Structure 1
Amino acid sequence: MAPDDAPAVAALHATSWRSAYRGIVPDAFLDHDVVADRQAVWAARLQTDPSPQALGHVIEDAGTGELIGFAYALRGHDPVWGTLVDNLHVHPAHKGRGLGRQLLQAVARSLAPPHSAQPLHLWVLDANEPAKRFYARLGAEFAERSMSSPFGGVPLPEWRCVWRDPATLLLND
């Protein structure tokens, strides 16, 4: 993931949220504010203030070159839970093709010591049943429940999904 990927990453992130979070997150946010919100986030993350602990992976459509999936993680983000997969998104038209699994595996492969010996975790909204089923199929442990940072002004229940050994994701090839 490179600084010039920010606009495409932001657009895909907004598209993904509009698809996955409709009926969960306020419609006004999804319909009006999500694009500008994601543009600001990704400009900061990739262009203005990139983290030295960040790693990102993208998947582009082989025919069009269009961004169709990405993962963004922060190595060693938490002393207990390890690396945080802060974002994992696949374009709705490309779901069900194994791209999400490939992206999580790319993150796991990118972890070098000492991070490869730490857990890998992410947060999933409690109401996002398809994502919860996906993470469960990949062996995630639903470790704890919390409240999210606000989405469009509304905090929502979420679960921490953890892979205590990230290498287990590579067994799902």
Structure 2
Amino acid sequence: MLYRNARASDLEPIIALHVEEQWRAYAHILPAGYLREEMPAQKRVLWSARLAPGADRERLSILVAESDARQVVGFICFVLEPNDAWGSYLHNLYVASSHQRQGIARRLLVEGVSGLGSDVRAAPVHLLVYRANEPARALYERLGGAPVERFMRGDPPVELFRYQWASADVLRQRAGAGLSPP
């Protein structure tokens, strides 16, 4: 498995993986019409902006996990906000269902945080997760994330939790515990 910075050529594989995994993970959480009709277009806009030439790379850190067959099987995206009260935002962490439970998400976390500047690594990091997404919540809790906020969002409203770590370095340490070297 190769862990590397995302490139513009990763646009289509990232969109496809993001859409597929959201369909799978959120089918019991979000309306089917949204998942089928609106979400794919939203992901195309999001990733086209993030991976476009000249995108604000100072504010983003995006890594992919690439299989030996040179397929993108996972990705992570941090929105870097070290001066925000919540810290930097771990906006996306997805691994293809065919490659889950192999340590790829944890390795993406370790590699992703390792590539951040020392000021960002020393600051808190947070993420949002649907209350009903129990597998993701269990992972974040195993990694020492603390649920620090709970709120409703959307139409129809769904419950979300905000998880936070004292620093990105703490998250990296917890995610790396027990992992073999890459």
TM-score normalised per structure 2: 0.85
Once residues 83 and 3 of structure 1 are traced to their aligned partners in structure 2, the CA distance between those partners, rounded to angstroms, is: 23
Match of 1:80, SS state, is coil
Match of 2:137, SS state, is helix
**Which amino acid in 1 is paired with 2:136?**
A
Is 1:74–2:76 an aligned residue pair? no
1:24-173 matched pairs, under 5 angstroms: 24-47=29-52, 50-51=55-56, 52-62=58-68, 64-76=69-81, 79-148=84-153, 150=154, 153-168=155-170, 169-171=172-174, 172=177, 173=179
Would the alpha carbon gap of residues 121 and 128 (structure 1) be closer, same or farther in structure 2, given more than 3 Å must change? same
Match of 2:34, SS state, is helix
TM superposition shift of 1:86: 0.7
Match of 1:159, SS state, is strand
- Quick check: 2:82–2:124 contact (8 Å CA) kept in 1? no
- Quick check: 1:71–1:104 contact (8 Å CA) kept in 2? yes
Once residues 107 and 81 of structure 1 are traced to their aligned partners in structure 2, the CA distance between those partners, rounded to angstroms, is: 18
**Which amino acid in 2 is paired with 1:60?**
E
1:1-40 matched pairs, under 5 angstroms: 1-40=6-45
Unaligned runs of 5+ in 2: 1-5
Match of 1:30, SS state, is helix
TM-superposition CA deviations, 1:36-73 (whole Å, max 9, x none) = 221121111211662221011100111x2111000011
TM-score normalised per structure 1: 0.89
Unaligned runs of 5+ in 1: none
